[in-house]
Amino acid sequence: MTTMSESLLRLLFLSLLLLCCVSPSSLSPIYINVTYPIVDGVACPPHQIQAFTQFKNEFDTRHCNHSDDLNGAWCDNSTGAITKLRLRDCLSGTLKPTSSLFGFHQLRWLDLSENNFTFSSLPSKFGNLNKLQVLILYSNGFLGHVPSSFSNLSLLSVLNLSYNMLSGRFPLVRNLSKLTVLDLSNNHFSGTLTPNSSLFELHHLRYLNLESNNFSSSLPSEFGNLNKLAFLSLSSNGLLGQVPLTISNLTWLTHLVLGQNMFTGSFPPVQNLTKLSVLELSYNNFSGPIPSSLLSMPFLSHLDLKENHLTVSFEVPNSSTSSKLVSLFLANNHFEGNILEPISKLINLKELDLSFLSSSYPIDLSLFSSLKFLAFLDLSGNNIYPASLSSDSHIPWTLEMLTLKHCSISEFPNILKTLKKLEYIDLSDNRIKGKIPEWLWSLPRLSTLNVANNSFNGFEGSSEVLVSSAVQQLEMDSNNFEGVLPNLPLSISIFFADYNSFRGEIPLSICNRSSLTALDLSYNNFTGPIPQCLSKLEIVELRKNNLNGSIPDVFYVGASLLTLDVGYNRLTGKLPRSLLNCSSLKFLSVDNNRIEDTFPFWLKASPNLQVLILSSNKFHGPISPPHQGPLGFPELRIFEISDNKFTGSLPPSYFVNWKLSMNQDGALYMAYEKNPYGIITYTYVDSIDLQYKGLSMEDQRILTSYSAIDFSGNRLEGQIPESIGLLKALIALNLSNNAFTGHIPLSLANLKELESLDLSGNQLSGTIPNGLRSLSFLAYINMSHNQLKGEIPQGPQITGQPKSSFEENAGLCGLPLEESCFGSNVPPTQQPEEEEEEKEEEQVLNWKAVAIGYGSGVLFGLAVAQLIA
Ligand SMILES: *[C@@H]1O[C@H](CO)[C@@H](O)[C@H](O)[C@H]1NC(C)=O
Ligand SMILES: *[C@@H]1O[C@H](CO)[C@@H](O)[C@H](O)[C@H]1NC(C)=O
Ligand SMILES: *[C@@H]1O[C@H](CO)[C@@H](O)[C@H](O)[C@H]1NC(C)=O
Ligand SMILES: *[C@@H]1O[C@H](CO)[C@@H](O)[C@H](O)[C@H]1NC(C)=O
Ligand SMILES: *[C@@H]1O[C@H](CO)[C@@H](O)[C@H](O)[C@H]1NC(C)=O
Ligand SMILES: *[C@@H]1O[C@H](CO)[C@@H](O)[C@H](O)[C@H]1NC(C)=O
Ligand SMILES: *[C@@H]1O[C@H](CO)[C@@H](O)[C@H](O)[C@H]1NC(C)=O
Ligand SMILES: *[C@@H]1O[C@H](CO)[C@@H](O)[C@H](O)[C@H]1NC(C)=O
Ligand SMILES: *[C@@H]1O[C@H](CO)[C@@H](O)[C@H](O)[C@H]1NC(C)=O
Ligand SMILES: *[C@@H]1O[C@H](CO)[C@@H](O)[C@H](O)[C@H]1NC(C)=O
Ligand SMILES: *[C@@H]1O[C@H](CO)[C@@H](O)[C@H](O)[C@H]1NC(C)=O
């Protein structure tokens, strides 16, 4: 038992994940040859201008740019009918079937993209516009199916429906035999691509984009019929199987984009596609060798094969054919033999990603010295030949981004000194010791530096050494930095220094870093007060330090604070009332301090608050609002107020109106996009480790649809409101060690996601609701120390609990207790004492084992275990 409760010590952990997706492909612009039919027109006669204005007035046109001469209507020079109409990025409202638009029968060109037709469906009246050659409706928020009347548009040459929310399957293009451009990307289209699909009758198609939909099937060999295609993208769907051989019929292809599907089999037969300039097969399950001939394809400039099971074993390309490759991405494949030699001949390379190639021998960086244009290099996850990182080694001085994450590097790579164009350096996850060299800060363009997860202990030079550097984002978390914090670069915007041993006060110089938006100093040994100026930031993480004083009460109206975590310090005083001004606040955690206050009902006005953690302080007084109604806080997902001195009872409607009564998405995050190229996306995700007893934590749960409530260790009394059963997304509920009375609410049986339920140490009476039997994810339950009686519901999740979960009650019987419900003659369950003890420990770690080990639960337990596995 002791082992169990120790391993279950409630531990709350909060961190700021930084997902940094470097996708440099946009460095090289990609040219797509699409020709649109030409529809000329002249200025329209007055009655047509009037008709056009009437159409516009069906909508809210406040966003229209009336001086934009690209928008408007054009008319046929002989008949005077409107033939071309373009209104982009301005209309707001519903496109109704009665719209006067569908009276413009002579329209040949219609562009209504980027309007706000949110929640409109595509009216079938579009079928009336059967002269249309060009129809552009992307980014309009259209919902539902494409009406079958579209097959009336038999002259259509260009159809762009991308970036809507359209659904349904082919044949939405039946009869559109003149189509040359079809863009259905970024919708919810689904179903299989069958051989008889109308798609394969589109013999004139030059551009086909089905990217980011839900198509799921193998590719029929009929793709080979589309032999005029120059652009084909099927990426980000659920497509599988082998790419058919007939793909080699598509000899006009310049772009073949099949990434992010589940394709298998050997490398697609692309050798004969001699016009190919972009080949993108990333994130699939292709296997076998990569054909060497790729490197000598005459126009291939962009080759992305990352995240497959391919074997990279290039031969030196024939020197007479110099490769055009500009981008080469091979990450996460296997490499055999010496591939670096041939790669060093690809002299036009600008972007090279060789990360995580499983290979045993180290990479010699100087082999890349011949790549005179190289700007982006990612060698993460490989061994690097140490001497090639020294300052007398040669790597191209053109490098702008260098990623050497997880390369077992143990000394600072002095070679960086020569790379004056570097903007981005990632050295995280290595074993570098000692101090960060002074010269690093004078790299003139350096804006992002990541040295997290190393063994650095300080900075060379004075405490001012960073100040004049150009660095905007500095990540140095999880190192051995000690002493006081150096003065940060004037340009700093994001600073992570958590998990170090910094001490002293948080320097006030931070207050004149006007670009600073995110600061993480958690898990250090900072002392003294929280500087007032931190109220200007978006993310403030100061967890687990020795800060004292009170939280500054200086949040001004319009403050952009999203996350404030000051847990585990020595803070006193009250919660600052000015937090009320932070209307974006999503995450507030002040646990394990000495804050003395009443419950912050006033925060109810923070419409976005998702996490409120007040545990282990000196809060007191009632937690139900004076008017005895619902608590409010509609977005709250994590609500933890344990170990305070809260009192009073919860009115019946207490949990009404919480959004978490619905399973909904909505991770707590914000994204930054900022970079000279616009190519690095920073996404912060607040995540929280909910260590309730029995909760199975594969990893940190990002706060999406989960929620948890912990009221334990207070002085709450009265009944547990039935409205608790409304919180359908609840995975953990802890009401233990209070003074709740009355019955256990029957509605608990509605909490189908519940994994952890603790009602122990109260004065609950009556029986345990039988409905709890059906909670199939329940891994931990504790009803001990109450006044419950009657039969324990005999479900596999419940009977598999240790006896202690039901001990000290007024008269419970049935498994797991030894007391039988059928009189005292029935012998107690025959479990040897030792084995029982063992299982008690196991159930915490792995409830599957328990379900298997206990009598009647066997079959059901197994089935559920497989479902959630
Ligand atoms: C673009 O496509 C058209 C039509 O197929 C063709 O005539 C033209 O040569 C192509 N242009 C380029 C630059 O490839
Ligand atoms: C409106 O359009 C004109 C012409 O295209 C452009 O110069 C101007 O910047 C636009 N104004 C706005 C507010 O978008
Ligand atoms: C109308 O336009 C066509 C083609 O642009 C031109 O040939 C014709 O002369 C024009 N007719 C008149 C009446 O302007
Ligand atoms: C789009 O329209 C809807 C209702 O028609 C409106 O609520 C929303 O604010 C509009 N959005 C924009 C960006 O104009
Ligand atoms: C097809 O177009 C014709 C002519 O405009 C029209 O009469 C007919 O209703 C349209 N059919 C559909 C299904 O929209
Ligand atoms: C298909 O297009 C032809 C004209 O090419 C048209 O006459 C016919 O009505 C269309 N069929 C359908 C089902 O709309
Ligand atoms: C369709 O519209 C999207 C969104 O603007 C654009 O990215 C795409 O290039 C368009 N497709 C074609 C073929 O023009
Ligand atoms: C197309 O073929 C599938 C089977 O591959 C069949 O179920 C479907 O009915 C066919 N559709 C048409 C329109 O022939
Ligand atoms: C397409 O390719 C297949 C096999 O590669 C071949 O049999 C067929 O004739 C080709 N079709 C066309 C239209 O070229
Ligand atoms: C490529 O072309 C050659 C010669 O035209 C032909 O023999 C070979 O079968 C083709 N390969 C593929 C995969 O289609
Ligand atoms: C933190 O600082 C306090 C006071 O300066 C000191 O007693 C304590 O040992 C330090 N803790 C750590 C982990 O360095």
The pLDDT tens digits of the residues spanning 692-710 come to 776 755 444 444 557 889 9
What pLDDT score does 690 carry? 64
593 found inside a domain: no
604 found inside a domain: no
Question: Nearest ligand to the C-alpha of residue 93?
Answer: 4
142 found inside a domain: yes
674 found inside a domain: no
Q: Is the C-beta atom of 67 inside 6 A of ligand 2?
A: yes
Expressed in angstroms and rounded, the spacing between residue 107 Cα and the centre of ligand 5 is 14
Burial class (CB in 10 A: 0-12, 13-18, 19+), 627: exposed
> Which numbered atom of ligand 2 lies nearest the CA of 68?
2
What's the start-to-end Cα distance of the chain, in Å? 27
> Which numbered atom of ligand 10 lies nearest the CA of 249?
14
3-state SS string for 802-843: CHHHCCCCCEEECCCCCCCCCCCCCCCCCCCHHHHHHHHHHH
850 found inside a domain: no
With a Cβ cut-off of 6 Å, ligand 1 is lined by 33, 35
Q: Cα separation of 180 and 182, whole Å?
A: 7
> Which numbered atom of ligand 1 lies nearest the CA of 31?
13
DSSP state, 439?
Answer: G
* Dihedral pair phi/psi, residue 278, rounded to 5°: -125, 125
> Which numbered atom of ligand 6 lies nearest the CA of 151?
14
Give me the residues paired with residue 547 across strands. 528
The answer to whether 280 and 270 have CB atoms below 8 angstroms apart is: no
Return the CATH number at 201: 3.80.10.10
Distances in Å between the Cα of 70 and the Cα atoms of 60, 63, 278, 299 are 19, 15, 32, 35
> Which numbered atom of ligand 3 lies nearest the CA of 77?
1
Domain count, the chain: 1
Expressed in angstroms and rounded, the spacing between residue 35 Cα and the centre of ligand 1 is 8
Q: Cα separation of 107 and 494, whole Å?
A: 52
Q: Cα separation of 279 and 482, whole Å?
A: 48
What pLDDT score does 358 carry? 77
What pLDDT score does 532 carry? 92
Reduced to 3 states, what is the DSSP secondary structure of residue 511? Answer: helix
Take atom 13 of ligand 10 and give the residue whose Cα is closest.
Answer: 269
Q: Cα separation of 763 and 809, whole Å?
A: 9
Take atom 7 of ligand 9 and give the residue whose Cα is closest.
Answer: 246
Take atom 12 of ligand 3 and give the residue whose Cα is closest.
Answer: 77
Expressed in angstroms and rounded, the spacing between residue 161 Cα and the centre of ligand 4 is 20
The answer to whether 304 and 259 have CB atoms below 8 angstroms apart is: yes
Expressed in angstroms and rounded, the spacing between residue 539 Cα and the centre of ligand 4 is 29
**Ligand 8 binding pocket mutation candidate from 151, 192, 194 (most atoms within 8 A of CB):** 194
What pLDDT score does 705 carry? 59
329 found inside a domain: yes
Question: Nearest ligand to the C-alpha of residue 544?
Answer: 11
Q: Cα separation of 346 and 337, whole Å?
A: 17
Take atom 8 of ligand 1 and give the residue whose Cα is closest.
Answer: 33
Residues of the chain below pLDDT 50: 1-29, 320, 661-683, 698-703, 824-869
Take atom 2 of ligand 3 and give the residue whose Cα is closest.
Answer: 77
Expressed in angstroms and rounded, the spacing between residue 78 Cα and the centre of ligand 3 is 7
Nearest to 533 by CA among 557, 548, 558, 514: 514
Question: Nearest ligand to the C-alpha of residue 250?
Answer: 9
Question: Nearest ligand to the C-alpha of residue 71?
Answer: 2
307 found inside a domain: yes
Take atom 2 of ligand 8 and give the residue whose Cα is closest.
Answer: 196
Expressed in angstroms and rounded, the spacing between residue 152 Cα and the centre of ligand 6 is 5
Q: Cα separation of 237 and 261, whole Å?
A: 6
| Domain, as residue range, for 36 | 2-391
Question: Nearest ligand to the C-alpha of residue 569?
Answer: 11
Q: Cα separation of 238 and 336, whole Å?
A: 30
> Which numbered atom of ligand 10 lies nearest the CA of 269?
13
162 found inside a domain: yes
The answer to whether 34 and 181 have CB atoms below 8 angstroms apart is: yes
The answer to whether 251 and 228 have CB atoms below 8 angstroms apart is: no
